[in-house]
Amino acid sequence: MEVTGHISGEDVPRRSASIWDVARVAGVSQQTVSRVINGKGRVSAETRAKVLRVIEELGYRPNKLARMLAGGPVRSVTVLTSDTSLYGAAATLRGMEEAARTAGFSVGISVLEPGSGQRDVAERLNRPGEAVMVIAYDDAGVRALASLPPDVPMAAAVERRPGAEAPDPWQVWLDDRAAAAHATRYLLSLGHRTVHYVAIPSSTSDLPQRTQGWADALRAAGRPLPEPLHGGWSPRSGYLAVRPLVADPSVTAILCGNDDLALGVMRAAREAGRHIPGDLSVVGFDDSPPAAYLNPSLTTVRLDFEGLGRACFGLLHRRLDPQNAPAVPAWSEPELIVRESSAPAPGSTF
């Protein structure tokens, strides 16, 4: 920081006002100022007014760092998430952020890299013991969740409903499995012989929920179970995944792990000369904002990510403050939104 020329020392405050400056100007002790700010302890109305006036004058703002260091009440959360450009994560984040802000918490967001390990996650916390929310829809998120020390106050939005043997009470999830099964049954009910599935990357080593739900429904109906295709998160990956398959006229229904994949699938189908929904029905997952405006508009499973995010914060809030936190808000169950991209199977009598 070089300084050239004349600077009058008086009107260029080198650092902003601290609680001590306020105390000095107001002629009281620094502790009294703290009392006024936090509304704790007794202060005479007169003194309070004076202090408040000085605070206004000096434009004093409490330093959050110092406050947290000194063991003030936990009023901040860090959200760990990987890719905020994915609709699901972004919407969940929005819900979390809104709920937290409304409850008076300040929200920090820390973006996870695919390769980050345990040490790295601990590094992101401002202080040991910081409250954390994790969006664990993908691999990076799940790993971050796993590597979080058990003593940090945490709540997570996860893909996978925990097994019955060890349910973590601090997790929320949407019933992807039932939703995928429902969407699959819907397609079967339209007369399709079977349904193909393009999967998003799995966050676990096990079969992902959506894949399982799809398989459940096919098995229950006694239909052939095709090998699931492995897509990524992007339209491009959906496009590439189904290209080998999509020209086959026996393929009449494809369920996609998210709406972006469905977009790629529809393009691949068009390029193969197949008409949607006449020759081929496509169903997505998420009900992202563009879905209703695509051509054809996309039949998809609406997931209440925002509600889930709000609920996740509600859970965390109760964990931090079991006495005073309000009840955890409910969120909506997945819902199939039928639009133009799905129709009775070609040649069916529906």
Residues lying near its own copies in the complex (CB under 8 A) = 15-16, 61, 63-66, 68-69, 84-85, 87, 90-91, 93-94, 97, 101, 106-111, 113, 122-129, 234-236, 239, 260, 263-264, 266-267, 270, 289-290, 292-297
The token pair that represents 71 in the structure block? 């063991």
Rounded Cα gap, residues 137 and 141, in angstroms = 6
Q: Which is nearer to its own copies, 219 or 275 (CB)?
A: 275
Q: Which is nearer to DNA, 10 or 46 (CB)?
A: 46
In order of 160, 185, 215, 222, 255, the CA distances from 219 in angstroms are 21, 11, 6, 5, 15
- Partner from its own copies, DNA, none binding residue 147, C-beta < 5-8 Å depending on class: none
Q: Is 19 in the site for DNA (CB under 7 A)?
A: yes
The token pair that represents 291 in the structure block? 């879905």
Q: Which is nearer to its own copies, 135 or 188 (CB)?
A: 135
- Segment lying near DNA (by CB under 7 A), choices 65-73, 178-186, 272-280, 339-347: 65-73
In order of 245, 253, 273, 349, the CA distances from 278 in angstroms are 17, 11, 11, 13
Closest CA to 305 of 326, 291, 285, 324: 285
Q: Is 31 in the site for DNA (CB under 7 A)?
A: yes
Rounded Cα gap, residues 34 and 31, in angstroms = 5
Is the bond preceding 329 in cis, omega lying within 30 degrees of 0?
no
We find the least distance from the C-beta atom of residue 51 to DNA, in angstroms, to be 9
We find the least distance from the C-beta atom of residue 320 to DNA, in angstroms, to be 14
Q: Which residue has the tokens 């409304």?
A: 102
- Partner from DNA, its own copies, none binding residue 53, C-beta < 5-8 Å depending on class: none
Q: Is 56 in the site for DNA (CB under 7 A)?
A: no
Q: Which is nearer to DNA, 17 or 107 (CB)?
A: 17
Rounded Cα gap, residues 77 and 114, in angstroms = 22
Q: Which is nearer to its own copies, 76 or 211 (CB)?
A: 76
Q: Is 259 helix (H, G, I), strand (E, B) or coil?
A: helix
Instruction: Considering only residues 102 through 141, tell me which ones interact with DNA, judged by CB under 7 A.
Output: 127
Rounded Cα gap, residues 304 and 176, in angstroms = 11
- The residues of the shown chain that bind DNA, judged by CB under 7 A, are 15, 18-20, 27-32, 34-35, 37-38, 40-44, 46-48, 60-63, 66-67, 69-73, 127
